[in-house]
């Protein structure tokens, strides 16, 4: 299961790097690739940095979808399918960030339990 979780994170990072490359943002693309090295750092801060970049990426996908939809509407072209696809990509990116907080990856990065029931002391 941990392999699938890592593959989802890896896929999201590579897709975001490809987006930055297409947009000409070479530094952002290199940063996306460089941050993947944090998958080998088994510390909570590394997971938080990975999650932060993924959430930033989801915002980038949403803003790109909105800008592209406005541009397409201005040209009289349909935008619904593009919005659905880019919305799905943003959702998968958020799912990848959430995955770092759950299951075996939570243990891998030594993150504290996220559920209140798991972290509350027994009386």
The predicted pLDDT at position 103 comes to: 86
What DSSP designation does 39 have? G
What's the pLDDT at 113?
A: 81
Global pTM value: 0.86
pLDDT value of residue 14: 96
Per-residue pLDDT of the chain (123 residues; tens, 9 = 90+): 789 999 999 999 999 999 999 999 999 999 999 999 999 999 999 999 999 999 999 999 999 999 999 999 999 999 999 999 999 999 999 999 999 998 889 999 999 886 544 555 554
Distance CA 79, CA 73 (A): 7
Measured distance CA(116)–CA(101) in Å, rounded: 14
Neighbours of 90 (CB within 10 A): 19
């Amino acid at each position: 299961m941990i392999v699938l979780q890592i593959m989802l994170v890896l896929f999201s990072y590579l897709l975001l790097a490809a987006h930055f490359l297409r947009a000409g943002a070479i530094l952002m693309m290199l940063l996306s690739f460089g941050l993947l090295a944090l998958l080998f750092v088994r510390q909570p801060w590394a997971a938080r940095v990975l999650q932060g970049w993924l959430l930033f990426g989801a915002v980038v996908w949403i803003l790109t979808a909105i800008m592209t939809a406005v541009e397409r509407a201005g040209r009289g072209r349909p935008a619904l399918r593009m919005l659905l696809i880019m919305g799905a990509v943003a959702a998968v990116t958020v799912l990848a960030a959430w995955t770092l907080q759950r299951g075996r990856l939570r243990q891998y990065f030594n993150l504290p339990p996220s559920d209140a029931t798991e972290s509350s002391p027994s009386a």
